[in-house]
């Protein structure tokens, strides 16, 4: 079986599970207690925080562990807009993850103001256009680092630079990017940054939000005041340990992984284009993640192709996974100006740390075979 859906989620690295395992049974302590069992958990949690912070150039207390990337996005967007008096404005783009867009819709229902900046046909924002939408009511600008469907890299650094003298927080959803891109929050110039462990060999169900010191955010989950009041709830110690370990491994192996997945991705695209005339590479013209290939195959419904690929041993995807399991047309492609019919011909193949040399060509061969069978 060829697993080429790393953009959806990735298998856990064995070293991550090895680091987490002690916290399943033995070191079960509630990190907020005052006894030895609790201290061990607390120490592991804070060690994980320090480790994670160091890997993105942040300070430990700037890390808020969350229940995943979606929660981190919610905390960033809602937390920034709901901090202080009234509801601050949000400037974002229509190709963001639903975690941001649905948070935006929620803020609008509360009476908040949401401005969507236009994207071009590759899904990219123009930093100057983003800056022009910011006014003194704007609390936060949220632009993702890399798109989860196409892999296209947004000019987040330029957006931040264009707004450096404005009193507004810059958030970036970097969930999709961390596995193949080194991230330094200062270089990037962001105040808020979301990560999810399961996108790079860590466990599902844990993420983090970097919150630059001095940034005002309101909690989304209220309770016992953990995480300096920014995220209540008994700590998921083993999750935090797993996340930090996965971040460390992703960082350590990043250059090798990037080289591997870029080779396989390029081999996949080259071979497929040779076998299947008319194959389009959606965002070939811009900088994109080395792991992602978003292609269109004229005349082939992705829904049908995916069923055949599943049977042929290739786990790929049409777009982002949807709750019901039905393949629906993505808001990302819609925002890029694709028609319904065009969007239904798109396929996402994404490589990752378990990819083996030769996978790209092998997957291309199977995709081509299935497409040829459908066309015959």
- Positions in the binding site for other proteins (CB under 8 A): 301, 303-304, 306-308, 310-311, 323-328, 340, 373-374
Closest residue by Cα to residue 189 from 150, 214, 163: 163
- The question of whether 346 is a catalytic residue gets the answer no
Shortest distance (Å) from residue 47 CB to other proteins = 40
Q: Which is nearer to other proteins, 110 or 321 (CB)?
A: 321
Q: Which is nearer to other proteins, 167 or 323 (CB)?
A: 323
Shortest distance (Å) from residue 368 CB to other proteins = 16
Contacts with 256 (C-beta within 8 Å, 6 or more apart), sequence order:
none
Classify 350 as helix, strand or coil.
Answer: strand
Residue 271 corresponds to which tokens in the numbers above? 């071979």
Shortest distance (Å) from residue 229 CB to other proteins = 33
Question: Dihedral angle at the C-alpha atoms of 157, 158, 162, 167, nearest 10 degrees?
Answer: -20
Out of 322, 339, 354, 373, the active site residue is 322
Helical spans, DSSP H, in 125-236: 127-133, 156-162, 185-188
Shortest distance (Å) from residue 207 CB to other proteins = 23
Contacts with 109 (C-beta within 8 Å, 6 or more apart), sequence order:
none
Say how far apart CA 183 and CA 78 lie, in whole Å.
23
Answer for the pair 66, 75: CB distance below 8 angstroms, yes or no. Answer: yes
Shortest distance (Å) from residue 324 CB to other proteins = 5
DSSP codes, 81-123: HHSSSS--EEEE-TTS-HHHHHHHHHHHHTT--EEEPP--TTS
Say how far apart CA 44 and CA 27 lie, in whole Å.
9
Active site residues: 322
């Amino acid at each position: 079986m060829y697993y080429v859906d790393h953009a959806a989620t990735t298998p856990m690295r064995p070293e991550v599970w090895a680091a987490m395992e002690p916290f399943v049974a033995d070191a079960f302590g509630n990190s907020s207690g005052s006894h030895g069992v609790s201290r061990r958990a607390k120490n592991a949690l804070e060690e994980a925080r320090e480790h994670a912070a160091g890997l993105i150039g942040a300070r430990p207390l700037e890390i808020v562990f969350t229940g995943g990337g979606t929660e981190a996005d919610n905390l960033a967007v809602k937390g920034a807009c709901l901090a202080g008096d009234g509801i601050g404005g949000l400037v974002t783009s229509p190709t963001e993850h639903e975690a941001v867009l649905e948070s935006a819709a929620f803020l609008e229902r509360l009476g908040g103001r949401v401005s969507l900046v236009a994207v071009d046909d590759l899904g990219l924002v123009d930093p100057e256009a983003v800056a022009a939408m910011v006014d003194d009511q704007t609390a936060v600008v949220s632009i993702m680092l890399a798109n989860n469907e196409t892999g296209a890299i947004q000019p987040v650094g330029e957006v931040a630079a264009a707004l450096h003298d404005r009193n507004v927080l810059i958030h970036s959803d970097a969930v999709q990017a961390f596995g193949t891109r080194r991230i330094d929050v200062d270089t990037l110039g962001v105040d808020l940054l979301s990560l999810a462990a399961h996108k790079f060999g860590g466990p599902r169900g844990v993420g983090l939000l970097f919150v630059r010191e001095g940034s005002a955010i309101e909690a989304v989950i209220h309770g016992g005041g953990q995480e300096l009041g920014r995220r209540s709830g008994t700590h998921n110690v083993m999750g935090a340990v797993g996340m930090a370990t996965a971040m460390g491994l992703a960082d350590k192996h990043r250059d090798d992984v990037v080289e591997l997945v870029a080779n396989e991705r390029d081999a996949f695209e080259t071979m497929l284009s040779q076998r299947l005339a008319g194959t389009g590479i959606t965002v070939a013209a811009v900088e994109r993640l080395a792991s992602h290939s978003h292609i269109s195959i004229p005349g082939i419904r992705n829904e049908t192709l995916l069923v055949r690929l599943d049977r042929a041993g290739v786990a790929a995807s049409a777009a982002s996974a949807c709750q019901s399991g039905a393949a629906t047309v993505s808001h990302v492609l819609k925002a890029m100006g694709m028609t319904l019919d065009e969007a239904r011909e798109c396929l996402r193949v994404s490589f990752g740390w378990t990819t083996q040399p030769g996978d790209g060509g092998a997957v291309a061969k199977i995709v081509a075979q299935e497409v040829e069978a459908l066309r015959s």
